[in-house]
Amino acid sequence: MNGAEFVALSLPPILIGVFAAIACAVPGNFLLLRRQALIGDAISHVALPGIVVAFLITGAVTTWPMMLGAAGAAIIAVVLIELIRRLGRIEVGAAMGVVFTTMFTAGVLLLEQSDTSSVHLDVEHALYGNLESLIWLDATGWTSLADPAALAGLPPELPRMAVVALLVGLLTLLLWRPLTISTFDEGFARAAGLPVTAIGLLLVIMAAVAAVAAFDAVGSIIVIAMFICPPAAARMMTNRLDHQMGWSIGFATVSALSGYVLAGYGPLWLGFDNSISAAGMIAVMSGLILAIAARFGPCRARVAGS
């Protein structure tokens, strides 16, 4: 494959995959330590009804209404989970299970009932995205990267995902200390005067934004995998949160790169002419990294030294 083809066909999806992976992995570190790892799972399921409702209202597959719809659905889900947990005195895992399965179901039903045959919106797309189709038709080679006219033809998911990844990163840097303190010792954080509840909510919102943006570009399967696998693997490597953050970003990048390359070129190397799902392959790669870290990572055991 020459440069022109690579820049046009593979570079945008690779970059989108990497940005999506990083945007999810960064808040994932805190969610993992707070035992809220499955929030990402819940959010990516409830995004579906949000997106469908947004589509039914606007009648078109446009970005911002859909992002708003998904974010709104995520907030409704979090509120419902809290309601069921507090008022119904139901354990949080079960409350989550009730809410996200029902909302996902409602999304599926709405989708099947409404006429979406004319647009590219279906359950399979929602689950595993269409990373491979996010190509850059205007590119003619590496020089296009410096050509404003060609850059305008970039798939819109790329700049959006980059901005979201950057925002998530900046916010995490800015709020590093309060986030860390309230994650490790909520009582101390409260005593020190930090708005613990607001910080918790902000983290969930940050995760929701990352999830929704990534969901739109690459499907929910990567979102769930990237929220959990890279931070979990990083957790096996170190006892320091800043190092863990670094490891997780590295693992997320490696999973996205290797997953995309294996999915796109792997079958060709084996002599088949069809590529396989990149989203699925990225999730598998992150799982492979987690498996290796869980087996050999220096800090894999629960108690140090045992």
Partner 1 sequence: MFGLGYNAILVTVGAGLLGASAGLTGTFLFLRKRALVSDAIAHATLPGVALAFVVMVALGGDGRALPGLMAGSALSAWLGLLAVGWLSRHTRLAEDAAIGAILSVFFGAGIVGLTVIQSLNTGRQAGLETFLLGSTAGMLFTDAMIIAIGGALAVVAVILLRRPMLAVCFDPGYAAATGRDVHRIDLAMMGLVMAVTVVGLKIVGLVLIVALLIIPPVAARFWSDEAGRVVLISGLIGAFSGATGAILSASAPNLPTGPLIVLAAFAVFAASFVIAPKRGLLASVLWHLRYRRRVHLRQGLLALAQGHPIYEAFTMRLLRRAGLARADGVATDQGRAAAANALLDERRWQILRSDPKFETTAALYDGLRPIDTVLTPDQITQIDRGLGPRGAA
Q: Which stretch binds partner 1 (CB under 8 A): 55-63, 83-91, 136-144, 162-170?
A: 83-91
Q: Is 274 in the site for partner 1 (CB under 8 A)?
A: yes
Q: Is 35 in the site for partner 1 (CB under 8 A)?
A: yes
Residue 29 phi, psi (nearest 5): -55, -45
Helices (H) and strands (E) in the chain, counts: 14, 0
Among positions 79, 94, 145, 201, the unique one binding partner 1 when judged by CB under 8 A:
94
Q: Is 227 in the site for partner 1 (CB under 8 A)?
A: yes
- What is the C-alpha separation between 55 and 62, in angstroms, rounded? 8
Q: Which stretch binds partner 1 (CB under 8 A): 61-69, 179-187, 244-252, 293-301?
A: 293-301
Among positions 113, 140, 143, 197, the unique one binding partner 1 when judged by CB under 8 A:
113
- What is the C-alpha separation between 91 and 79, in angstroms, rounded? 15
Residue 226 phi, psi (nearest 5): -75, -25
**How far is residue 179 from each of residues 153, 201, 209, 211, measured CA to CA in Å?**
38, 11, 17, 19
117-136 positions binding partner 1, by CB under 8 A: 123-124, 127-128
Q: Is 194 in the site for partner 1 (CB under 8 A)?
A: no
- What is the C-alpha separation between 283 and 230, in angstroms, rounded? 10
The nearest distance, CB 272 to partner 1, in angstroms, is 6
Among positions 105, 133, 140, 197, the unique one binding partner 1 when judged by CB under 8 A:
105
Q: Is 217 in the site for partner 1 (CB under 8 A)?
A: no
HSE (side-chain half, CA atoms, 13 Å) at 22: 23
Among positions 57, 63, 82, 91, the unique one binding partner 1 when judged by CB under 8 A:
91
- What is the C-alpha separation between 282 and 252, in angstroms, rounded? 9
By CB under 8 A, the count of residues binding partner 1 is 64
Positive or negative torsion for Cα 117, 121, 123, 129 = positive
Our CB check for partner 1 shows the closer of 196 and 282 to be: 282
Q: Which residues contact 225 (CB under 8 A, 6 or more apart)?
A: 255, 282, 283, 286, 287
Our CB check for partner 1 shows the closer of 62 and 105 to be: 105
Report the interface residues with partner 1, using CB under 8 A.
32, 35-38, 40-41, 84, 87-91, 93-98, 101-102, 104-106, 108-109, 112-113, 123-124, 127-128, 221-222, 224-225, 227-229, 232, 235-236, 263, 267, 272-277, 279-284, 286-287, 290, 294, 299-302
